[in-house]
């Protein structure tokens, strides 16, 4: 118990700053709020839901291309520098959507700029520091750090919906941009430190220097299993979330009720973060992932057909949110356990690219199938199958390597 208390006593500031930074960053804010902007953007510019959701595909490619670079930069120049610059640029580019003039091309360009310049706000960077500060309770620390996605995902959805009704969609984008600029930027400046940064007192520096290089990781079968498994998982979990308002609306619910039910995604993400983090500290992470990611496949089935009731919709949203709360934690945890921390940013950045591939194409595919078929049912059925397949693949990962067997900085490739 003394070790556990010591870890949190030394690293709580990093966890708090990471929770706020991740929660107001590129990962949750655009993703959770895009569905709220569909109606006003469609009304003003005549864009279809699939055209608007394609913006998340643009963000996916930005994350795929720049995410690994952000991770490498964090490994080389220090995670704190990357975080501070990226939070500022993310806020500025997010506010830029207020200047949209009806050109889809310019709209997509701004999405690309935001995803590229804001890539340093992704969990790739923040979780590097958290993993370095924690060992015994690493899973729980990651879960607490990633709570921000659930807290701010739910809040941002309701906040954006409120601002749209009061000051219009343009100022709603500005209001969202103030979250990273006024909240996470100053907190990160004063509280966020990696173990190797100046001022990181009593930090376990040695843990940051052991592990595989990116080249070594790419040569292992586990890297490709993990990468491939998270494509369908991210597709199945990410596809419904931005479309939830439209999914529930297609089942006969009024817009206000749909937004209220969809906002339940936040508390369920929080539950997934905490429960998942606690479990992976005590049990083999791939087995935990299989159970917690396979079960929510039933959520997709609950939303199909014509008999969707309010209780079944609530249950489905809670299950989807729970899965969304588990996936980030488990991916970050397994990267650190299987590959160490030496090149964590680069390895997780590459892994996050595969994750982003599924998460980005999921919403667009869901929206496109709705436009072409008039229902989300086929997309939801595909999501259920994808969750089961991806979760099962993780069971082939094998045991964690002995941390002492991982090479140190002196090993060259």
CA nearest to 301, candidates 372, 235, 379: 379
Total number of domains constituting the chain = 1
**pLDDT tens per residue, range 217-258:** 999 999 999 999 999 999 998 888 878 888 888 888 888 888
pTM over 0.85: no
CATH number of the domain that residue 310 is part of: 1.20.1250.20
Domain hosting residue 51, numbered range: 2-402
Between 305 and 111, residue with greater pLDDT: 111
Q: What is the mean pLDDT of residues 300-325?
A: 87
Query: So what's the pLDDT on residue 107?
Result: 97
Q: Is residue 407 in a domain?
A: no
In the predicted structure, residue 279 carries a pLDDT above the cut 80: yes
Distance CA 320, CA 7 (A): 31
**pLDDT tens per residue, range 134-164:** 988 899 999 999 888 777 877 898 899 999 9
**pLDDT tens per residue, range 362-409:** 888 888 888 888 889 999 999 999 999 999 999 999 999 987 777 766
Query: So what's the pLDDT on residue 2?
Result: 37
Q: Is residue 184 in a domain?
A: yes
Q: Is residue 303 in a domain?
A: yes
Paired with 211 in beta bridges are 340
**Residue 209: both structure tokens together:** 């220097």
Query: Which residues have CB under 8 Å from 349's CB, separation 6+?
Result: 67, 68, 69, 70, 71, 72, 124
Q: Is residue 410 in a domain?
A: no
**pLDDT tens per residue, range 314-358:** 999 999 888 888 888 899 999 999 999 888 989 998 998 888 888
Q: Tell me if 80 sits within 8 A of 192, measured CB to CB.
A: yes
Q: Is residue 178 in a domain?
A: yes
Paired with 340 in beta bridges are 211
**Residue 305: both structure tokens together:** 């057909």
CA nearest to 343, candidates 193, 197, 214, 194: 214
Query: Which residues have CB under 8 Å from 162's CB, separation 6+?
Result: none
**Residue 164: both structure tokens together:** 């749209």
Distance CA 118, CA 115 (A): 5
What does the radius of gyration of the chain's CA atoms come to, in whole angstroms? 20
Q: Is residue 33 in a domain?
A: yes
Distance CA 280, CA 9 (A): 21
DSSP class per residue in 109-127: HHHHHHHHHTGGGSHHHHH
Q: Tell me if 57 sits within 8 A of 362, measured CB to CB.
A: no
Q: Is residue 408 in a domain?
A: no
């Amino acid at each position: 118990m003394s070790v556990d208390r010591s870890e949190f006593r030394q690293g709580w500031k990093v966890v708090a700053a990471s929770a706020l930074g991740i929660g107001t960053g590129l990962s949750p804010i655009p993703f959770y709020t895009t569905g709220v902007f569909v109606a006003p953007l469609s009304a003003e510019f005549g864009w279809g839901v699939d055209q608007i959701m394609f913006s998340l595909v643009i963000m996916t490619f930005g994350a795929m291309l720049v995410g690994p670079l952000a991770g490498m930069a964090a490994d080389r120049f220090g995670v704190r520098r990357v975080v501070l610059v990226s939070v500022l640029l993310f806020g500025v580019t997010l506010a830029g959507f207020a200047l949209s003039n009806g050109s889809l091309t310019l709209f997509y360009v701004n999405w690309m700029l935001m995803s590229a310049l804001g890539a340093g706000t992704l969990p790739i960077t923040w979780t590097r520091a958290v993993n370095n500060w924690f060992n015994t309770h690493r899973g729980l620390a990651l879960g607490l750090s990633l709570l921000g996605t659930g807290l701010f995902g739910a809040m941002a959805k309701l906040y954006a919906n409120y601002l749209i009704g009061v000051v219009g969609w343009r100022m709603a984008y500005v209001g969202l941009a103030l979250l990273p600029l006024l909240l996470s930027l100053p907190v990160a400046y004063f509280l966020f430190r990696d173990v190797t940064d100046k001022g990181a007192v009593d930090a376990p520096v040695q843990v940051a220097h052991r592990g595989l290089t990116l080249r070594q990781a790419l040569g292992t079968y586990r890297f490709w299993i993990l990468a491939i498994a998270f494509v369908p998982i991210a597709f199945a979990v990410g596809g419904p979330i931005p479309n939830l308002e439209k999914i529930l609306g297609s089942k006969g619910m009024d817009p206000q009720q749909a937004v209220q039910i969809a906002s339940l995604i936040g508390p369920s993400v929080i539950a997934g973060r905490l429960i998942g983090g606690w479990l992976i500290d005590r049990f083999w992470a791939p087995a935990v992932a299989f159970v917690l990611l396979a079960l929510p496949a039933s959520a997709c089935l609950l939303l199909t057909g014509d008999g969707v009731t309010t209780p079944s919709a609530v249950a489905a949203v809670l299950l989807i949110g729970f899965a969304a709360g588990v996936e980030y934690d488990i991916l970050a945890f397994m990267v650190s356990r299987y590959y160490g921390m030496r090149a964590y940013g680069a390895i997780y950045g590459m892994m996050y690219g595969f994750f982003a591939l599924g998460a980005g194409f999921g919403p667009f595919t869901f929206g496109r199938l709705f436009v072409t078929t008039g229902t989300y049912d086929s997309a939801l059925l595909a999501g259920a199958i994808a969750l089961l397949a991806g979760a099962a693949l993780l069971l082939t990962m094998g045991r964690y390597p002995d941390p002492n067997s991982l090479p140190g900085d002196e090993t060259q490739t």
